[in-house]
């Protein structure tokens, strides 16, 4: 496999697409037609116009996959909340990729997940298959804004398949305002889809989770929940419990996009292991029911959790990335995909250092890097793929030497 990445912040969509393709070809040093394009863009760009421009530049028969992103990065450029587009051109050589897409996420994640599971089964997917999952995270078809739940989608895929591959992925959105976006589904542009990319041949995808959060409290227990709303903690109304715990310095109106709860999927009393934790970010508060609304609905009654604090020092990232490279057992790395929570961007998260720069410096010029800022990240915690919040997931593609 050979990969070239391209980037543009040109506000003129067609020109931006063409520039990114030229940039990717230049970096890869290849002019022959590629086998697939992975393409992401912010909501400022018209998806149909962008796809048409990229297709004309690479050849109309080349499948284009991807969708919306709040921002993007490559080895030497990054940006968010603007006119960013980024893409990767793939020359598969001894590898291949099957594209499986199912629409209808405005209705029922479970039904879409079951259909996606059946389609993956038909492709012969196993527990060892190398899979990326991208889905439209935003539903505004009912007038208000609803988040599409990765938890329900993954559970339904598992119900049909009987297992989940060790997959990585993202819930896609095009800006911080949750503007509706469209997805690139191989041969077309669509909306409200879940899409799986099943890589085969000699390619392998290894990944590492980075969220930089550590427990700040003992364990507490959810004693009442409704969907993705936590209504009671330790037998008290959730808002009252949190207010009493956190005190007047952090009022409930500050909880959304600030309060992070950690669910330890490993051994409860063992030494802290970041890879065993699923971070859960508060989305909103429910004053009427004295509840806390989370991004995912998996903090059900009986779930034990801790309040997490964020590290403002990103030095923890580099050793994790180096260990990922060192774990390849002699295989040759060819491409890195970084799936990054948009809340981790310095301009949004209120920190001094961009984690995009840390990843760029760690990957350096070793291999092509494509990164996207997302709404939800998916990676395996204790051997099970889960939707995550406030997380960076670095996926390293490798082939035999």
Instruction: Please tell me whether residue 260 adopts helix, strand or coil conformation.
Output: strand
Write down the domain spans for the chain.
2-210+314-399, 215-310
Query: What strands, in cross-sheet order, belong to the sheet with 392-399?
Result: 77-80, 71-74, 369-374, 332-341, 392-399, 204-210
Instruction: Name, in order, each residue with C-beta under 8 angstroms of 56's C-beta and a sequence gap of 6 or more.
Output: 18
Segment 295-349, tens digit of pLDDT: 999 999 999 999 999 877 888 999 999 999 999 999 999 999 999 999 899 988 6
Segment 43-58, tens digit of pLDDT: 999 999 999 999 999 9
Q: How far is it, in rounded angstroms, from Cα 131 to Cα 267?
A: 27
Does residue 79 contact residue 377 with C-beta atoms inside 8 Å?
A: no
The dihedral sign for the CA sequence 219, 225, 230, 232: negative
Other beta carbons less than 10 A from residue 63's beta carbon: 20
Burial 300-318 (b: 16+ CB within 10 A, else e): eeebebbbbebeeebeebe
Each residue's pLDDT tens digit in the chain (401 positions)?
999 999 999 999 999 999 999 999 999 999 999 999 999 999 999 999 999 999 999 998 999 999 999 999 999 999 999 999 999 999 999 999 999 999 999 988 999 999 999 999 999 999 999 999 999 999 999 888 999 999 999 999 999 999 999 899 999 999 999 999 999 999 999 999 999 999 999 999 999 999 888 999 999 999 999 999 999 999 999 999 999 999 888 999 999 988 999 999 999 988 888 889 999 999 999 999 999 999 999 999 999 999 999 877 888 999 999 999 999 999 999 999 999 999 899 988 667 789 999 999 999 989 999 999 999 999 999 989 999 999 999 999 999 99
Give, in order, the Cα–Cα distances in Å from 113 to each of 8, 159, 195. Answer: 34, 9, 10
What mean pLDDT value characterizes the chain? 95
């Amino acid at each position: 496999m050979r990969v070239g990445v391209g980037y543009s912040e040109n506000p003129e969509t067609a020109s931006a697409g063409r520039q990114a393709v030229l940039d990717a070809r230049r970096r890869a040093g290849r002019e022959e037609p590629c086998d697939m394009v992975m393409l992401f863009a912010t909501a400022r760009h018209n998806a149909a116009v962008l796809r048409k421009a990229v297709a004309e530049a690479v050849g109309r028969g080349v499948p284009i996959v991807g969708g919306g992103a709040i921002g993007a990065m490559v080895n030497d450029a990054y940006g968010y909340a603007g006119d960013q587009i980024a893409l990767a051109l793939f020359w598969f050589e001894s590898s291949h990729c099957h594209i499986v897409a199912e629409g209808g996420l405005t209705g029922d994640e479970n039904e879409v997940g079951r259909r996606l599971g059946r389609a993956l089964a038909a492709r012969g997917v196993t527990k060892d298959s190398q899979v990326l999952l991208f889905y439209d995270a935003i539903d505004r078809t009912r007038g208000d804004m609803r988040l599409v739940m990765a938890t329900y989608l993954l559970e339904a895929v598992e119900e049909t398949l009987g297992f989940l591959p060790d997959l990585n992925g993202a819930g896609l959105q095009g800006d911080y305002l949750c503007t509706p976006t469209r997805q690139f589904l191989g041969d077309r542009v669509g909306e409200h889809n879940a899409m799986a990319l099943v890589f085969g041949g000699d390619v392998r995808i290894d990944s590492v989770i980075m969220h930089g959060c550590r427990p700040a409290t003992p364990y507490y227990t959810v004693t009442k929940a409704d969907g993705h709303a936590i209504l009671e903690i330790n037998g008290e109304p959730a808002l009252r419990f949190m207010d009493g715990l956190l005190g007047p310095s952090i009022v409930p109106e500050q909880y959304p996009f600030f309060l992070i709860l950690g669910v330890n999927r490993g051994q409860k009393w063992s030494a802290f292991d970041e890879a065993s934790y699923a971070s859960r970010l508060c989305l909103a508060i429910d004053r009427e029911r004295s509840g806390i609304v989370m991004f995912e609905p998996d903090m059900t009654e009986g779930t034990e959790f801790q309040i997490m604090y964020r590290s403002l020092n990103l030095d923890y990232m580099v050793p994790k990335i180096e260990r990922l490279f060192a774990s390849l057992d002699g295989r040759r790395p060819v491409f890195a995909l970084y799936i990054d929570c948009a809340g981790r961007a310095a301009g949004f998260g209120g920190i001094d250092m961009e984690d995009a720069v840390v990843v760029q410096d760690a990957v350096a010029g070793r291999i092509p890097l494509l990164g996207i800022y997302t709404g939800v990240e998916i990676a395996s915690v204790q051997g099970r793929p889960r939707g995550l919040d406030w997380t960076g997931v670095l996926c390293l593609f490798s082939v035999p030497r």
